[in-house]
């Protein structure tokens, strides 16, 4: 009898405990959203589109210039230094990371385009605008891919399974340019001229990107026409203060055509920390301007400093120069965000002193664009928007397109001169008409380099001009200063030789990891 009681109790006990957890094996996560329940409302569409904007370039856009003659990677053991030295290969992590990042953005855009029509809404204007915004972002990312690698797989639908991903092939550059062109044309006709929310892609952005894309293809006249269509929108103009273009007060100004938007605390960047001088809270100064960059700024009279009549004063090398020099670069005597005076001269005993540590600038210059004193309090939490396309570029694209297509007329001079004179704080002598194509080419190229310095365009300009092998190689040089015995010394990094091998360096290698997974991907020549 007793046994029966025990037995029954035990069975009941066991049954009780087992019954507690009927759904034990069907756990539902609460920390993420299922794709199955998504794509129902208009809100879902907007939110999905918002996240794709994250794939636009941020402050690391400077890296592209960092791989050219105008900047030097101050942290030599990072991949940027390796690429600068020409020592990179298909295993270099940066190459792979960049590849993956771009395709992640493309996938996000594709995913949006495939799913957005599931949303029930009557607001077709919104949906159509969002679709076009995504297509422009996708095109923007493809421009990067083509310019970095040449032929790349053109993925316009999400790849659902791995085996499909392992069999894609490289489309020709021409195919991709065509795709980008038709996409931008289509979107430009749909997108509104003005978006309520600043930072959204507009008609102007699509047209401006188209101008850039055509320039990259050396389709000179077409690019000039595209640039003209942006000019004709009568929406954009040069911002009166070059000095403020890259500061918080200059955000969303009339010159900005496309930017990546940031806001402190919520979606911030680390621009100050990334670029700022070491003395400013141990900022990292990832890249520092080279002598080549500094020397490209003319005297305020418009003459090159190498011109004996320019009035260049070796003892005050940064005085009476193109004002954009001091707006873009910290040079000896510049006021730092913390109100101290920048002095990197060896022996100055400041934290920025060249040679005092490998963390401070090794060349005696630091980038000033995007390094704002209002971010000094927290240098890794910056809200500054990063400009991706601005009107000055359009003017220069117009000029270059016209020059190269032999359609040199007054509008070319006007475009260039408006950049040299069109602002309150940049007043350089006008370029007087009557110059040859070659002379104008030199001027417009130098103007691009100076006006758009550190904005991520130089690498691609050198690639399309095919001048990288003459511009890039050589020992890295920095500031010239008077040493204790009164002699002028120019800093030269003898141990750091920039290398550009024209036989292969015009394109990056396809990442080895990617080829390992997909034998259809053939490596670029030379790698």
Partner 1 sequence: MKKNDPKQRHRGRPALRKMLKIMKLTTLLFFIALFQVSAKSYSQETKLSLKFENETLENVFSKIEANSEFSIFYKNDLIKNSKEVTGEFKDALIINILDEVLKSENLTYNIKDKLIMIVPKDVNGININSQQQKSVSGKVTDQTGASVPGASVVIKGTTTGVITDNSGNYSLSNIPENAILQFSFVGMKMVEIATEGKITINVKLEDETIGVEEVVVVGYGTQKKVSSTSPVSQLKGDEMARRPVTNAQQSLQGLAPGVTIVDNGGSPGRSAATIRVRGITTLSGNNDPLVLVDGIEQRIDDINPSDIDNVSILKDAASTAIYGSRAANGVVLVTTKRGKKDQISINYSGYVAMQEANNNPKHMGLEDYMRYQNLAYTNVGMLPLYAEETIQTWVTSTDRIKYPLPNVWFDKVYKKAPQFDHNLSISGGGEKIQGRASIRWQEQNGIVSSVFNKINEARVNLDFNPYSKLKISADLNYRQNYSRNGSTTFTLWHYLYHGSQWAVPRYPDGTYGISKQGHSPLLYNDMAGSDKLNRGMLVANLKFDLEILPHLKFNTQYSLRNDNNVQKIFNNSFQVYDYTDKSKLLKNVDKNTLNENRDVINEITLTSLLNYERIIEKNEFKFLAGYSEISNKQNYLSGYREYFYNNDIQSISMGSDNNKNITGYDSEWGLKSYFGRINYIYNEKYIFETNSRWDGSSRFTGSNVYAFFPSVSGAWRISKEGFWNKSNKLFNELKLRASWGKSGNQAIPLYEFYPALISAPYTFSDKLAQGYLQENMSNADLTWETTTQTNIGFDSQLFKQKVTLSFDWYKKITDGILLSLPIPGVIGLNAPKQNAGVIENKGVELMIGYRGKSKQLSWDISGNVAYNKNEVISLEGTGPYITTSSVDPMTIRAEGLPIDSNWGYLVDGFFQTAEEVAGYPTLFANTKPGDTKYVDRNKDGKITPDDMTNLGNSFPNYTFGLTSTLKYKNFDFFWQWQGAADVAVRLSGALSEMGNQEGFTHEIYTNNVWTVDNPNSRFPRPTKFSLNNVQSSEMLIYDGSYLRLKTLQLGYNVPATFLAKTFVKSARFTLSATNLLTFSKLNEWNLDPEFPSGRAAYYPQTTIYSIGFNFQF
Q: Which of residues 61-90 bind partner 1 (CB under 8 A)?
A: 76-77, 82, 85-87, 89-90
**Residue with smaller CB distance to partner 1, 106 or 453:** 106
Which one of residues 58, 156, 159, 302 is an interface residue with partner 1 (CB under 8 A)? 159
265-324 binders of partner 1 (CB under 8 A): 265-268, 278, 281-282
Distance of CA 491 to the CA centre of its chain: 28
CB neighbour list of residue 519: distance below 8 Å, 6 or more residues apart: none
Which one of residues 114, 123, 335, 358 is an interface residue with partner 1 (CB under 8 A)? 358
Binding segment (CB under 8 A) for partner 1, from list 210-218, 405-413, 479-487, 513-521: 513-521
Which one of residues 482, 517, 522, 525 is an interface residue with partner 1 (CB under 8 A)? 517
184-213 binders of partner 1 (CB under 8 A): 197-200
Q: Which residues pair with 267 in a beta bridge?
A: 263
- Least Å distance, CB 178 to partner 1, is 19
Q: Phi then psi for 474, rounded to 5 degrees?
A: 130, 165
Q: What secondary structure letter does DSSP report for 171?
A: B
Q: Is 150 in the site for partner 1 (CB under 8 A)?
A: no
- Least Å distance, CB 101 to partner 1, is 9
Q: Is 522 in the site for partner 1 (CB under 8 A)?
A: no
Which one of residues 121, 128, 261, 480 is an interface residue with partner 1 (CB under 8 A)? 261
CB neighbour list of residue 76: distance below 8 Å, 6 or more residues apart: 358, 496
Binding segment (CB under 8 A) for partner 1, from list 8-16, 117-125, 232-240, 304-312: 8-16
- Least Å distance, CB 403 to partner 1, is 36
359-398 binders of partner 1 (CB under 8 A): 359, 377-378, 381, 383
82-141 binders of partner 1 (CB under 8 A): 82, 85-87, 89-93, 96, 99-100, 103-108, 110-111
Binding segment (CB under 8 A) for partner 1, from list 119-127, 158-166, 402-410, 455-463: 158-166
How far, in Å, CA of 237 to CA of 254, rounded?
6
- Least Å distance, CB 223 to partner 1, is 29
- Least Å distance, CB 322 to partner 1, is 32
**Residue with smaller CB distance to partner 1, 125 or 433:** 125
- Least Å distance, CB 247 to partner 1, is 14
387-446 binders of partner 1 (CB under 8 A): none
The answer to whether the beta carbons of residues 475 and 69 sit under 8 Å apart is no
**Residue with smaller CB distance to partner 1, 303 or 512:** 512
- Least Å distance, CB 487 to partner 1, is 14
**Residue with smaller CB distance to partner 1, 174 or 489:** 489
Q: Largest alpha-carbon pair distance within the chain?
A: 119
Cα separations (Å) of 479 from 15, 24, 117, 332? 83, 69, 58, 9
The answer to whether the beta carbons of residues 292 and 387 sit under 8 Å apart is no
250: closest CA among 378, 448, 384? 384
- Least Å distance, CB 428 to partner 1, is 34
Which residue matches tokens 């963390």? 359
Interface with partner 1: number of residues (CB under 8 A)? 101
- Least Å distance, CB 186 to partner 1, is 22
Which one of residues 356, 405, 411, 524 is an interface residue with partner 1 (CB under 8 A)? 356
- Least Å distance, CB 244 to partner 1, is 17
Q: Is 252 in the site for partner 1 (CB under 8 A)?
A: yes
Q: What secondary structure letter does DSSP report for 521?
A: S
Report the SS3 class of residue 406. Answer: coil
Burial of 412 from C-beta contacts in 10 A (0-12 / 13-18 / 19+): buried
How far, in Å, CA of 389 to CA of 245, rounded?
12
Virtual CA dihedral for 516, 517, 520, 522, nearest 10 degrees? Answer: -30
DSSP 317-352: TTTTB-THHHHHEE-TTPBPTTSPBP---TTS-STT
Token pair in block for residue 142: 């493809």
How far, in Å, CA of 162 to CA of 411, rounded?
52
Q: What secondary structure letter does DSSP report for 431?
A: P
24-63 binders of partner 1 (CB under 8 A): 24-27, 29-36, 38, 44, 46-54
**Residue with smaller CB distance to partner 1, 33 or 193:** 33
Report the SS3 class of residue 276. Answer: coil
Which one of residues 172, 516, 522, 525 is an interface residue with partner 1 (CB under 8 A)? 516
Cα separations (Å) of 152 from 143, 466, 478, 520? 11, 20, 37, 11
Q: Which residues pair with 256 in a beta bridge?
A: 390
Q: Is 174 in the site for partner 1 (CB under 8 A)?
A: no
Q: Is 18 in the site for partner 1 (CB under 8 A)?
A: yes
């Amino acid at each position: 009898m007793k046994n029966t009681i025990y037995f029954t109790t035990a069975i009941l006990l066991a049954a009780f405990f087992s019954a507690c957890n009927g759904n034990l094996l069907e756990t539902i996560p609460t920390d993420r959203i299922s794709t199955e329940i998504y794509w129902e409302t208009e809100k879902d569409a907007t939110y999905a589109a918002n996240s794709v904007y994250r794939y636009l370039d941020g402050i690391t856009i400077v890296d592209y210039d960092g791989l050219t003659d105008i900047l030097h990677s101050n942290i030599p053991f990072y991949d940027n230094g390796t690429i600068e030295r020409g020592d990179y290969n298909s295993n270099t992590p940066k190459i792979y990371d960049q590849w993956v990042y771009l395709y992640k953005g493309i996938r996000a855009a594709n995913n949006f385009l495939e799913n957005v029509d599931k949303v029930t809404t009557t607001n077709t204007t919104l949906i159509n605008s969002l679709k076009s915004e995504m297509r422009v972002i996708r095109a923007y990312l493809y421009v990067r891919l083509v310019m970095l690698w040449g032929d790349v797989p053109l993925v316009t639908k999400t790849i659902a399974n791995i085996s499909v991903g392992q069999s894609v092939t490289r489309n020709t550059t021409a195919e991709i340019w065509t795709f980008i062109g038709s996409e931008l044309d289509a979107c430009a006709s749909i997108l509104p001229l003005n978006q309520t929310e600043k930072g959204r892609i507009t008609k102007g952005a699509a047209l401006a990107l188209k101008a850039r894309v055509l320039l990259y293809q050396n389709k000179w006249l077409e690019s000039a026409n595209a640039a003209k269509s942006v000019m004709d929108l009568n929406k954009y103009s040069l911002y009166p203060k070059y000095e403020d273009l890259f500061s918080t007060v200059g955000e969303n100004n009339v010159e900005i055509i496309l930017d990546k938007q940031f806001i402190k605390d919520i979606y911030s960047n680390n621009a100050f920390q990334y670029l700022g001088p070491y003395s400013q809270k141990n900022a990292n100064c990832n890249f520092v301007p080279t002598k080549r960059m500094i020397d490209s700024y003319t005297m305020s009279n418009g003459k090159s400093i190498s011109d004996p009549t320019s009035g260049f004063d070796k003892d005050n090398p940064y005085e009476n120069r193109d004002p954009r020099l001091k707006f873009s670069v910290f040079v000896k005597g510049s006021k730092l965000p913390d109100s101290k005076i920048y002095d990197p001269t060896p022996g100055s005993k400041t934290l920025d002193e060249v040679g005092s540590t490998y963390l401070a600038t090794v060349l005696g210059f630091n980038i000033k664009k995007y390094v704002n004193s209002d971010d000094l309090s927290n240098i890794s939490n910056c809200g500054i928007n990063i400009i991706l396309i601005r009107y000055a570029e359009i003017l220069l694209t117009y000029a270059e397109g016209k020059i190269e297509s032999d359609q040199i007329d007054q509008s070319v001079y006007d475009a260039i001169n408006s950049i040299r004179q069109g602002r309150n704080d940049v007043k350089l002598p006008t370029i007087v008409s009557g110059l040859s194509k070659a002379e104008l080419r030199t001027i417009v190229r130098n103007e691009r380099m100076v006006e758009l310095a550190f904005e991520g365009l130089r690498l691609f300009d050198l690639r399309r001009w095919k001048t990288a092998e003459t511009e890039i190689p050589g020992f890295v040089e920095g500031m010239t200063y008077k040493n204790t015995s009164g002699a002028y010394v120019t800093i030269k990094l003898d141990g750091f030789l920039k290398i550009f091998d024209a036989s292969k360096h015009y394109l990056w290698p396809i990442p080895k990891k990617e080829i390992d997974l997909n034998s259809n991907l053939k490596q670029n020549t030379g790698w």
